[in-house]
Amino acid sequence: MDIGELVGAGRTADVFALDDGRVLRRYRDGADATGEAAVMAYLAEQGFPVPAVWPGTAAGDLVMQRLSGMTMVEALVNGVITAERAGRMLAELLQRLHAVPARLSADPAHRVLHLDFHPENVVLTPQGPVVIDWATSAEGPPGLDSAMAALILAQAALTMPAVSEVARAVLRSLLRHLDGIEEEHLAEARRRRAANPTLSPDEVGSLDEAVALITGTAGR
């Protein structure tokens, strides 16, 4: 496997081009990606839009289909998609995901959760939106996933001036198209975000205001 140029970098991993229409996503700390690959393969079998995935040569490597298209963030910034449409699309993707039965849990109320669901993790391909980055996926109540998606958008609105207004507009649309955010799920999402070691102090410090933004927006 010949590794090509660096084509992307996130908080915990780098993405390299391969020569056959695929990419290699490699965790910098060597974290095991086999569970993530299993979740993505399961979701693909269930018809949910994720990149095709193949095992890498090391536990921290994930070989995936290279997608063509803008991320939802890029499409929003470039005016290709409206905030209203983006929020509705996020809600629709969450609803589709939460219609898939859990892979491992015996609890019939549990579903596969993404838990890092936001516009940078949705790629708008010619075939439709595809959801990427399943590193934080778990199983549990679907309301927690919806609450986490809203909280991430609210934090972006408060801590990222360049996209603040767009993030607020997408959040408003998302909340309109969801069935509601329960207080217990929002509290758990806040707890998990506070414990996330990749967040900056400013992001952690914004959590209470972000929760208030969600509850205030949902109440309108």
Which pLDDT tens digit goes with each residue over 22-38?
888 888 776 788 899 99
Structural domains of the chain ordered from first start: 6-65 (3.30.200.20), 70-218 (1.10.510)
Structure tokens at 37: 């690959």
Round the average pLDDT of the chain to a whole number and report it. Answer: 92
Q: Could you tell me the pTM of the whole model?
A: 0.92
pLDDT for 8 equals 74
Contacts of 150 (CB under 8 A, 6+ apart): 171, 174, 175, 178, 181, 186, 189, 214
Give the mean model confidence (pLDDT) for residues 63-86: 95
- Identify the band that residue 220 occupies on the pLDDT scale cut at 50, 70 and 90: low
Higher per-residue confidence, 9 vs 113: 113
